[in-house]
Amino acid sequence: MILRTVRDLLTDDTIAALQESPVIATGRHPTWYPVFHSSQRSVDHLSNQAVRLIADAGGNEWLHSLAPRLSRIDDPEEAAAALGELRTYGGLLEAGFSVNPIPESDTPTPDFEVDAGDGIAVVEVFAKHQDESEKILWDAIA
């Protein structure tokens, strides 16, 4: 299968679970938007574009390894972080960098090694999440 969108990374069962996932305090599950939203937001377009760029650069294995994190219905913050890494990888490729994902390990590691021809740099994608008290407040509002 040729990977072109976030939807292409998900199984039929995962797509169904995502479609049926409950609305959360801040809206829908983060992965729901690039898969189902009828009028794509800019960030959703970038997520889907990143899949194409990464697949075209030979990154199918990394894309498939990202799928479980994208489909964490019980952990929308993890899915949001995965989407952030996806967009970062795609943006680095679009900017002309050579990108090498760093495999996850038991200890924290950066996400990517990049090179623009002048030496390797490491990239850590930081996805700011709500702190626990803010999350509790949003849940109470919902």
Instruction: Report pLDDT digits (tens) over 113-128.
Output: 999 999 999 999 987 6
Instruction: Report pLDDT digits (tens) over 70-121.
Output: 999 988 889 999 999 999 999 999 999 999 999 988 898 999 999 999 999 9
The token pair at 136 is: 């509790």
Distance from C-alpha of 91 to C-alpha of 97, rounded to nearest angstrom: 9
Distance from C-alpha of 49 to C-alpha of 54, rounded to nearest angstrom: 9
Distance from C-alpha of 3 to C-alpha of 52, rounded to nearest angstrom: 6
The token pair at 50 is: 């990143």
Average pLDDT in the 57-63 region?
Answer: 97
Contacts of 90 (CB under 8 A, 6+ apart): 46, 47, 49, 50, 51, 52, 53, 54
Distance from C-alpha of 32 to C-alpha of 2, rounded to nearest angstrom: 21
